């Protein structure tokens, strides 16, 4: 061999060693394969041990095709979505079997080396382990599918401009827009200026400071006003590489149209039941009310007859006639007040909050039960809060509960021989609550009956329906309060009412 040829050969060997050294320093796996369908390993750098667990000597001669996951083996041939092509090189992402038997994700860029005749000679590949990336992307894709399938409204909102950059399917449905033709929304379009300033911006600020905000803020849906929705949660996302500043918010809302419809239907049903209970109560008191109305009517008739008789006898003078008319007017007003009170009580009304003194309501109901109290020799004993606290609630419904409890206290004496029969009515208040107690001193209620008192259709009365206390408790709980009973089973029963001063 001539000296020049020996020099060239030596140089090629040195370059080959440098390339080998360079390849072995790479963290990527660099391999050569036969240009045959079995992809047999011809050569590989030492990174193969870190990536696949094989030594260089172990893997040379192995058919690489057999290590592909069965679902990914033909990616290149079928041009799967995981395969891309650019400038003569293919990039493929696939699952590949590790020496230990499990599969990892590889991203391989390959090029086919061809002879001068264009025939494939070998395939050179550069592969890297992308398992963590792929698993993260899979998790992201799964999360995206969950977000899209969620019935909650999920929106991404920029921190500075408050532009909604993403809305899931539920958001588009609630907004009344189409995902295929998306409209550009800004957060300030979904709220009135007042709500935006007083509730939304403080919520975003709280999320920015603490990472998350929970609450309830009603949304205005300009493109779909028939639906009702609200924000329930705001999550702040920070850019970890840019001074940790807030980059965007995830806003989670809920379309509550059906929920509101169901609540309204339940409220309507409750009002119907409460109205029916009031009608039944008045029906049970019919004889007493008739007697109470007959008293002023009988007095009016007597005053009129007396005045007519004096006129017939020629003894009527202006002053006597005036006094008779004044007494007639008083009795007529008394009868009218009884009728007014009864009509007001049985009238079918919508739920309406008004502010009223609770002591006055207690006294009004005792007047309503005046005749029934006389018939049972009952004395009303009022021990009312001297501060005369006011309650913001539905007055008719609260009076319905008081009537039911007072009537129960009156009827408790029906099988009792006590000569003194008090119904004690107490009221007291704190900063946030009003407490009312209605107590009798009859025989009391046994423990086994006490547990069932508020169950629907349970009654100890021969002619009762067992709905009064159940409806009463529902009314009080609807007002955010509590109703419960106490009894020692021997000397009386006390019903306790606890109501928030402001109905929430």
Whole-number pLDDT of residue 338: 65
Whole-number pLDDT of residue 504: 44
Q: Which of these three, 255, 284, 303, is where a domain ends?
A: 255
The per-residue DSSP string of 302-351 comes to: HHHHHHHHHHHTT---HHHHHHHHHHHHHHHHHHHHHHHHHHHHH-----
Whole-number pLDDT of residue 19: 55
What whole-number distance in Å separates Cα of residue 33 and Cα of residue 186?
56
Distance of CA 284 to the CA centre of its chain: 41
Same domain (yes/no): 31, 95: yes
Same domain (yes/no): 157, 226: yes
Whole-number pLDDT of residue 470: 78
Whole-number pLDDT of residue 283: 60
Whole-number pLDDT of residue 212: 93
Q: Is residue 206 part of a domain?
A: yes
Whole-number pLDDT of residue 431: 84
Residues of the chain with confidence (pLDDT) below 50: 5, 8, 12, 462, 464, 503-504
3-state SS, residue 446: coil
Q: Is residue 141 part of a domain?
A: no
Pairing mode of beta strands 120-129, 153-158: unpaired
Whole-number pLDDT of residue 8: 46
Same domain (yes/no): 328, 362: no
Range of the domain at 286: 267-349
Q: Is residue 1 part of a domain?
A: no
Whole-number pLDDT of residue 175: 83
Cα radius of gyration (the chain): 44
Same domain (yes/no): 429, 492: yes
Whole-number pLDDT of residue 23: 64
Whole-number pLDDT of residue 27: 84
* Residues 398 and 360: beta-carbon distance below 8 Å: no
Q: Is residue 384 part of a domain?
A: yes
Burial of 82 from C-beta contacts in 10 A (0-12 / 13-18 / 19+): middle
What whole-number distance in Å separates Cα of residue 167 and Cα of residue 154?
6
Whole-number pLDDT of residue 384: 94
- What is residue 358's DSSP assignment? H
What whole-number distance in Å separates Cα of residue 27 and Cα of residue 35?
24
Question: How many distinct structural domains can be found in the chain?
Answer: 4
Same domain (yes/no): 241, 282: no
CATH code for the domain in which residue 201 is found: 3.30.450.20
Whole-number pLDDT of residue 261: 83
């Amino acid at each position: 061999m001539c000296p020049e040829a020996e020099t060239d050969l030596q140089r090629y060997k040195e370059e080959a060693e440098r390339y080998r050294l360079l390849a072995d320093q790479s963290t990527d796996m660099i391999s050569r394969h036969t240009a045959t369908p079995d992809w047999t390993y011809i050569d590989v750098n030492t990174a193969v041990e870190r990536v696949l667990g094989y030594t260089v000597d172990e893997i040379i001669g192995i058919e690489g095709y057999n290590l592909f996951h069965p679902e990914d083996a033909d990616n290149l041939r079928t041009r799967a979505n995981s395969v891309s092509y650019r400038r003569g090189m293919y990039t493929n992402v696939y699952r590949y079997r590790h020496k230990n038997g499990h599969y990892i994700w590889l991203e391989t860029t390959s090029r086919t080396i061809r002879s001068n005749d264009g025939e494939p000679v070998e395939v050179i590949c550069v592969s890297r382990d992308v398992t963590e990336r792929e698993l993260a992307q899979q998790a992201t894709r799964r999360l995206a599918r969950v977000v899209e399938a969620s019935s909650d409204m999920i929106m991404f909102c920029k921190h500075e401009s408050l532009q909604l950059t993403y809305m899931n399917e539920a958001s588009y449905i609630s907004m009344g827009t189409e995902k295929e033709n998306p409209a550009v929304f800004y957060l300030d379009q979904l709220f009135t200026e007042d709500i935006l300033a007083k509730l939304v911006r403080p919520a975003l600020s709280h999320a920015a400071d603490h990472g998350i905000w929970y609450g309830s803020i009603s949304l205005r849906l300009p493109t779909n006003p028939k639906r009702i929705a609200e924000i329930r949660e705001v999550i702040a996302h920070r850019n970890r590489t840019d001074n940790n500043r807030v980059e965007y918010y995830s806003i989670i809302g809920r379309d509550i149209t059906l929920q509101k419809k169901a609540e309204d239907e339940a409220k309507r049903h409750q009002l119907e039941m409460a109205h029916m209970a009031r009608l039944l109560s008045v029906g049970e008191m019919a004889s007493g009310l008739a007697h109470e109305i007959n008293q002023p009517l009988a007095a009016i008739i007597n005053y009129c007859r007396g005045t007519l008789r004096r006129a017939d006898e020629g003894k009527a003078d202006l002053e006597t006639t005036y006094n008779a008319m004044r007494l007639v007017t008083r009795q007529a007003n008394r009868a009218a007040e009884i009728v007014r009170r009864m009509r007001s009580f049985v009238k079918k009304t919508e739920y309406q909050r008004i502010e009223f003194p609770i002591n006055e309501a207690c006294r009004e109901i005792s007047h309503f039960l005046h005749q029934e109290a006389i018939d049972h020799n009952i004395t009303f004993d009022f021990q009312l809060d001297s501060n005369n606290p006011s309650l913001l609630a539905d007055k008719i419904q609260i009076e319905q509960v008081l009537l039911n409890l007072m009537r129960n206290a009156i009827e408790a004496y029906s099988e009792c021989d006590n000569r003194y029969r008090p119904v004690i009515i107490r009221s007291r208040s704190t900063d946030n609550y009003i407490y009312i107690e209605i107590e009798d001193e009859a025989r009391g209620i046994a423990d086994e009956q006490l547990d069932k008192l508020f169950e629907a259709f349970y009654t100890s009365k021969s002619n009762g329906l067992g709905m009064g206390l159940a409806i009463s408790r529902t009314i009080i709980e609807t007002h955010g309060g509590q109703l419960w009973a106490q009894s020692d089973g021997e000397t009386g029963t006390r019903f306790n009412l606890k109501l928030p001063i402001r109905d929430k």
